[in-house]
Amino acid sequence: MILLAIDFDNLHQILRNLYTEMMPLCSNMIGVAKGIAGLGALFYVAVRVWQALARAEPIDVYPLLRPFAIGLCIMFFPTIVLGTINAVMSPVVTGIHGILETQTFDMNKYREQKDKLAYEAMRRNPETAWLVDNQAFDQRLEELGILDAPQIAGMYIERGFYNFKQTVQNWFRELLELLFQAAALIIDTLRTFFLVVLSILGPIAFAISVYDGFQATLTQWITRYISVYLWLPVSDLFSSILARIQVLMLQNDIEQLSNPNFIPDGSNSVYIVFMIIGIIGYFTIPTVANWIIQAGGGMGSYNRNVNTAAGKGGAYAGGMAGAAVGNVSGRLLGK
């Protein structure tokens, strides 16, 4: 269907390339930052030397090295700062993404197996075989005579209704899958935007941290950069959990379908409910990443706004799937 014609993996890769291509722009800020940091270092050293002389105390050289260390970080910002942080965090991203790929592969394998068993179970039952198998449908029509015209018409209507129901269920499922992928893309796009802004203006933040009263700017920049960087592994971990839940559900369905007396209902209700949970859960990723690395300031307000938007979206999606939830409840109680 058209809904799933978008290659989301390609879009995520475009965002990775965008971040890489935007990194040289931080070099344009290095010259400005060096001037700001140099002026700040001059005042920083002069004030402390003057205070030591005024108090007739020996000059402590060690604290005076701080602006020079920050200056070195500014001069080699792409290599020392960004290169070091990205090199340390990249194994975390790669490792968790490997978990996601494993779970996704297992989910696709079990889904194909379940679809095959469900089709065979429908064919095995004489009352439902003609709904899914053209040969069984034609054979049943041949068994009926001319006098059974009303029954033949009823068969066509019932089969048409069954196909329409399957089409609607598949369309709604693919719509939720599209929204699920779109939620992941929104988080990845915001993450890339924040990382690009923090990287390009990072030298300015380092330069301002040289001045008295702005020392916390350095630590705030580092914590925010790492917190935003962790959005991707947290997102992959959340997707891995959802994929694992679906694998367990598929294994349970496969076990039931292995019973010759079991007749599937053809419903995707449980799958739809977990897709809605996934859509809502994606917007909690910034909050979870902020628990790992505490980033204060405006990040907390942003997380609250995202969670509010997720709640409204979840209420809308939940209203659309109200009937599906009822079906799931009956199915779970029946087990």
- Asked if the model's pLDDT at residue 222 lies above 80, the reply is yes
Q: Which residue has the higher pLDDT, 243 or 152?
A: 243
Confirm whether pTM is higher than 0.75. Answer: no
> Residue 103: CA atoms inside 13 Å, Cβ hemisphere, count?
19
- Asked if the model's pLDDT at residue 139 lies above 60, the reply is yes
Return the pLDDT at 299. 54
Q: List all residues 6 or more positions away from 263 whose beta carbon is below 8 Å from its beta carbon.
A: 121, 122, 125, 128
**Is residue 4, in this structure, part of any structural domain at all?**
no
Structure tokens at 285: 């990723």
Under DSSP, is residue 264 helix (H, G, I), strand (E, B) or coil? coil
Residue 230 pLDDT grade (very low, low, confident, very high; cuts 50, 70, 90): very high
Least confident of 212-221, 267-276, 323-332: 323-332
Least confident of 174-178, 221-225, 238-242: 174-178
Query: Is the CB of residue 67 less than 8 Å from the CB of residue 41?
Result: yes
231-257 vs 149-200: helix crossing angle, rounded to 10: 160
Query: What percentage of the chain reaches a pLDDT higher than 70?
Result: 72
**Is residue 141, in this structure, part of any structural domain at all?**
yes
**Is residue 2, in this structure, part of any structural domain at all?**
no
**Is residue 304, in this structure, part of any structural domain at all?**
yes
Residues 276, 61: Cα–Cα separation, whole Å = 59
**Is residue 7, in this structure, part of any structural domain at all?**
no
Query: 290 lies in which domain range?
Result: 12-334
Residue 326 pLDDT grade (very low, low, confident, very high; cuts 50, 70, 90): very low
CA distances from 244 to 1, 168, 248 (A): 26, 26, 6
**Nearest-5° Cα angle at 28, 185 to 192:** 10
**Is residue 329, in this structure, part of any structural domain at all?**
yes
What is the mean pLDDT of the segment spanning 37-45?
84
Return the pLDDT at 321. 43
Query: DSSP characters for 270-323?
Result: HHHHHHHHHHHHHTTHHHHHHHHS---THHHHHHHHHHHHHHHHHHHHHHHTHH
What is the mean pLDDT of the segment spanning 237-244?
86
Count Cβ atoms within 10 A of the Cβ of residue 256 and give its class: 0-12 exposed, 13-18 middle, 19 or more buried: middle
Return the pLDDT at 331. 42
Structure tokens at 218: 């350095």
> Residue 157: CA atoms inside 13 Å, Cβ hemisphere, count?
6
- Asked if the model's pLDDT at residue 319 lies above 60, the reply is no
What is the mean pLDDT of the segment spanning 183-199?
89
Query: Is the CB of residue 268 less than 8 Å from the CB of residue 128?
Result: no
What is the mean pLDDT of the segment spanning 247-260?
77
**Residue-averaged pLDDT of the chain:** 76
Return the pLDDT at 224. 93
**Is residue 46, in this structure, part of any structural domain at all?**
yes
**Is residue 193, in this structure, part of any structural domain at all?**
yes
Return the pLDDT at 313. 46
302-312: per-residue pLDDT in tens? 555 555 544 45
67-110: per-residue pLDDT in tens? 889 889 888 888 889 889 999 988 988 888 888 888 777 777 87
- Asked if the model's pLDDT at residue 225 lies above 90, the reply is yes
Question: What total number of domains does the chain contain?
Answer: 1
